Every structure is written in structure tokens, then in C-alpha cells.
Amino acid sequence: MTILDEILEELGNVDTIEEQRLVIIDYIERASEDSSYIPALESLADILFKTGSIDQGLTVLIELFELKKYKKYAKQIVSKLYQYEAYDKAYFYWLDLAKSDNEDPELKLLEARLLKKLNRHTEAIDMYRKIIKSYPTLGEAYEDLGDIYLEQQNISQAENYYRAVYEYLDDYENIRDVRLKLVEVESLKEIIDLAAVEKLEKDERIPLETEDEFFVFANVYKTLFQFDKAIDYAKKALQKDSDNINYSILLIDLYKTTGQKSNLYKELTWSAKTLPPLDPMILNIAKVADDVDHLNDDIIEKLVDYTNLIDNSEDFYLAINIIVNYYLSKSDAAQALHFLRVFEGEQIDHEYMSYHFALVYEALGLNDKAEEDYLIALDYLLPHEELAYRLANFYFTNKEVEKALEVVNQYNNTFYDIPKLKALSKEIQSKNDLSDLDEYKEWE
């Protein structure tokens, strides 16, 4: 049995992380007296990282570093801590690396990246510039510096460093990503240069081939109102990754914008069926489907499930509105009431949904309850543009003209501009001016 096999067997015989740590410490102590244990511990660290035992893997490396102070251990520790976003700890071990080697470009780049992650941007920028001066072909330094400037919304500086990589370092391994960043920079300008975008698109060195590239160019061409190109690239992105709902949402938006109803309906139907349960994108799909009157049971069913998870009041209200209106349009007020009561019981006060309860109670002919909830909604000041109109029309339909006029007068003298309410106001006034009350009573 090898030393590594022996260690793995002992680790397999204990149950807790603390017990595993003690096993590792025991073998580190043996390594301090017998160097033949060190290769086995190095292999153990690799195995632990590959199997997802990150803490134990770091324990091995850190203990080995404390034992031998080898630069290779510190490099591995810093890389792993950086990978798992423990930037403060990573910088602590980088300081030991810096003491051992001040001229390693890999270490200098690592320092700059750590400074960036620690939001020490001034120091990071200074370090990147020094790296570029000393190692002018190190593409990562240009790209990273461009990223800092882009994050700071310094578009011109970001573009300068991205272009330096893109135009002068043809063999840079991330050149495709840099091209997409140049497209992003261009899209952030006040006036987008179509010729510049097309030049990036048609670069013969690196023809477009990935779904990310298709998606980015679809978006920028959408912004430029080049809808045919945008649709073509959105389709290509979706062909590359048919499960990516972001691509489908973009295509839905483009079909809606260009009035391609047949394609829009197909995409909405497909997206609703293939979307995973509880995916937040269902709200976007439902909103578009509601706008073009193409809601269906698949969309509503998934929207209902997702609504219980929404913690944003604006999104929650939008979802409720879509669900209630859908069932009212199908003359199924009972189902709308069912879901309102479910949502109310799950997470929200009745007052917040009082407007929708009023609509449903009115559809069910429960006028007393409908009036009560309409008035609650008014008192609660829910921002629904049709609220005043609905209440006035509710009174008018039930021949309570004075109450209808009271609502009309209250809202016509405010900053609210509700055309339907103004039109209803004229109709109510016309009926109210009838001198023969009996004639009014006969009015249907």
C-alpha cells in the first residue's frame, strides 16, 4: 500500500471534516520528519480539489507551505483562494510569493487582479500599467485594465486597451471575448458607429461561431434598428443552445417589435412549454403574451407557480394582474378568486390585492364585496390607472349615479389623466341631467 493509499483509507474511515483535518495534520507532522510523505500529500491535495473537498485541499496546501515555504504551494493556494473569491486571504499568501520572486509576470498579474478584486483600483491600474510596460505582449494585462475602465464607465480608455489586444496581439487566446467587449463599448456610446460594429462582425481572422457572439451582435443590431440581422443572429444563438431562455426572450421581443405575429406566437408557445419550472423568465414571457393577447394555460400555470416565489412587489403585482385578467377573460372568475386567496394566504395582505378582488367579486355578481374592495383599493392608493374608472363604472352600471359622479369629480380634478374616465364622466352627466327620474329608472 502506498502512502497516498494509506492516507485515503484513513480519511475514508472518519466521518467529520474536523476528523479529516486531524488526519491531514498527522501526516503533515510525519512529513516534517520524513520528506517521502510530501509527494503523497501533494497528490492528496489534487484529489481533494477534484472531488470538491476544497477546505481539506487548502488545509493540505497551507500546512505544506507552512512546513516548506515552497513558492509552488503559495501559488496554488493563491490561485484556489482567488478561484473561490477569498480575495483577502489570497492577498495574504501573495505577499509571501512577492518576497520570493519580484520578477515573475504571472505573480505580478496575480497581484493586479487581487488588487482589482479588493476594489483597490488605483493600485491595480498602476500595477497593470507597469506590467504592460515590462511585458508588452501580455494580453491579459490589457484586457483586465480595459475591464477596470469599463466598470468605471470610462469608455474611451476601456476601448483603447481592448483595441490594443484586438489589433496587435492576434494570438491572444481570449481575443473572441475582447471583440465582444469592444461591441459592448460601442453599444454604450451616445451614437453607435454602425461601420465599427460591422467591421468587428466581419473580421475574417475570427468568424462568428459561438452562441455568445451571436447573442451580443443580435442585441447591438437590435439597438441599431437592424432588425433582420438581429433576428438572424438571435436564431443562430438559439440553434447553438436551444435551452437558453435569454435567446428565446430576445427573439420574442424582436418578433413583437417587427409585428411578426405568427413567429411570435410560435416562439411564445415553445418557450412556455420548454421553460423549466419556477424560472423567473416566465414573467417576461407572460407579459409579452398578455400584451399580444396570446396567453395560454401553459404560461399561466408556470406563472402561478413562480408568483409564490416573487419577493419584488412590482413584479408580484404584475403577475397577479396577468393571472386575474386571464381568468376573467375566460369568464372563470371563480378560478381567479381561488388564486387570489392562495396568494393572499401565502405572502401578502388583502389590501394590496383589493383592486383585483373587487374585479373578481364584480364578475361574480357579489356587488357588496366588490364595492368594499374598490373602496379599500382607493384608500390604499394602489397605482392602477383604471381603478377610478372601474369604480365609477361599477356605480354607474348599478345606477348609483351620485356615487359615480363623486368618484369622477374626485379624480378629474387631480393630475390623473384617464381618458376613459373622462368619457364616462360625460355619459354619466348626460344621464344625470335627465329631468324625468322615472325615465332614468327605465334606462338599461
CA–CA gap between residue 98 and residue 71 (Å, rounded): 10
Burial 222-239 (b: 16+ CB within 10 A, else e): bebebbebbbbbbbbbbe
pTM for the predicted model, two decimal places: 0.69
Predicted confidence band of residue 366 (pLDDT cuts 50, 70, 90) = very high
DSSP 289-354: HHHTT---HHHHHHHHHHHTT---HHHHHHHHHHHHHHHHHTT-HHHHHHHHHHHHHHH--GGGGH
380 in Cβ contact with 352 (< 8 Å):
yes
Write the single-letter amino acid at 80: K
CA–CA gap between residue 211 and residue 307 (Å, rounded): 30
Predicted confidence band of residue 442 (pLDDT cuts 50, 70, 90) = very low
222 in Cβ contact with 235 (< 8 Å):
no
Predicted confidence band of residue 384 (pLDDT cuts 50, 70, 90) = low
CA–CA gap between residue 424 and residue 407 (Å, rounded): 11
Residues ≥6 apart with Cβ < 8 Å to 89: 81
Residues 253-284: pLDDT tens digits? 999 999 999 999 999 888 888 888 888 889 99
The three cell numbers locating residue 328: 376573467
Higher pLDDT, residue 5 or 441: 5
